[in-house]
Structure 1
Amino acid sequence: TYMAGKNVLVVDDNSTNREILKEQLSGWKLLPQLTDSAENAIKIFNDKPGFYDLVITDMQMPGMDGVTFAKKIREISPDVPMILLSSVGDEYNQTNNKLFSAILTKPVRQHMLCRHISKAINPTFVVRSEAPQQKMSAAFAAEYPYRILIAEDNEINQQVIQFILQKLGYEPALVSNGLTAVQAQKEHSYDLVLMDMQMPEMDGLEATRTIRSGNDDAVIIALTANTMAGDQERCLEAGMNDYLGKPINVEELKEKLIMWAGR
């Protein structure tokens, strides 16, 4: 796609946010360069004039905030597109809108980030509005086709996830521990694995490492009851692409399926 191979400079003082953005951008075949401060970013940008196709910056950072940073980048490069990630309550003048291709409020919905990146890199791309749609329709799987494996040992959770996916038009396979997940993935090469973190025989992290050791690039999404930053980092380090909190939220699951379909 036109996004593949584009160079993106990511500026955020929070290491977890940087890693999450890195994983998302890499999944969309973009080439992210990460830095933890606006000052470092200006040096990096100056060292490679014309190299970066997009800049994504946090608003609140120590030393220099995102708007001040963007103004300095504009002095170096009048045309490079920039996206600002802001928290609710950030104070910035609406005139700053002219600095940015988009100002997105955190936490950013991932498919919206993907759309706005597409729009920033390719201005002819149309960002579709969030059209109201039926929550669960079998047409969803036709638009975002996947062969899905669910690895989950809790019977109730199995039934809930299976029910949601079937309503969306999928026919997921089901295993109840990490060991059988590894075997099933080896035999059938599913496109996407929903992997519970805590399972008997072999946990989700170990199962993911084993799958990745076979050069398998399936999308693996962790299912975790704890969405703490440490858990998120462990998921990414093990080779998972993303994570979903439990209990499963239908809209969040759909967002993940939409986002990773474009990989």
Structure 2
Amino acid sequence: VVSPDPFVRAAAVAQIEASGGRVAAKAPVMLIDHAARPAGQGLVPRPAGGRAIVLLKPSERDLIARYRSAGFHGYLIKPLRRASVAERVLAASGAQLTMQPGPPPPPPEDDRVALTRFSGIRVLLVEDNPVGALLASTLLKREGCAVETAASGHEALDALKRARYDLVFMDMRMPGMDGCAAARAIRARGDETPIVALTANAFAEDRRACLEAGMDDHLVKPLELEALRASLARWTKSADRAKVAVA
């Protein structure tokens, strides 16, 4: 997978692995982002050996014919759909899906369509890393959440003064006012909005520090979709939800 955009790379890897594929430095099929083209060149050069699929924005569909003429074996439109990734990679590699007898499988989920199970849930995402903020925000929006972002603990305090949120996702490690300090300040105001800590560490002491600072829960980065959904369901049931006892 070749792209200058870390979000595009991460999304492509996730879709490939979710479809049972594997990403490697050398592979018979390459996914190459049009954005990776060298300066001054209209197209990405086709790699020697192997087969290539170009990744395009919806507004770049007019380049499909040119890439086909240049020898590319297919194209994918960003943001990537899991079913399309699997179909195009299999086609480019010459593989075919084996049809088994029985009832037809359910239609593949279109990952570009926002789900509505948490529609209307207002989320404040506090994350100083732009890539991490983009990934988390994208996942939340796909679940139907209305997401606002803050890049520091101070910005989070200001946001909570201006508006009410159903849930706050708070990064633990931020320069200046970190997540724990921000959580203490929020609780000192009497604000009981549920706060879920985001941290790269899954150690017991990190979870304990979160809870002692007044946070309600703890999620490990990089975020996994099922864990995120469980957290949304757990902390946005109702305004009078009870605190979950921690063993």
Q: What TM-score results when the alignment is normalised by the length of structure 1? A: 0.47
Q: What TM-score results when the alignment is normalised by the length of structure 2? A: 0.50
- Whose Rg is larger? 2
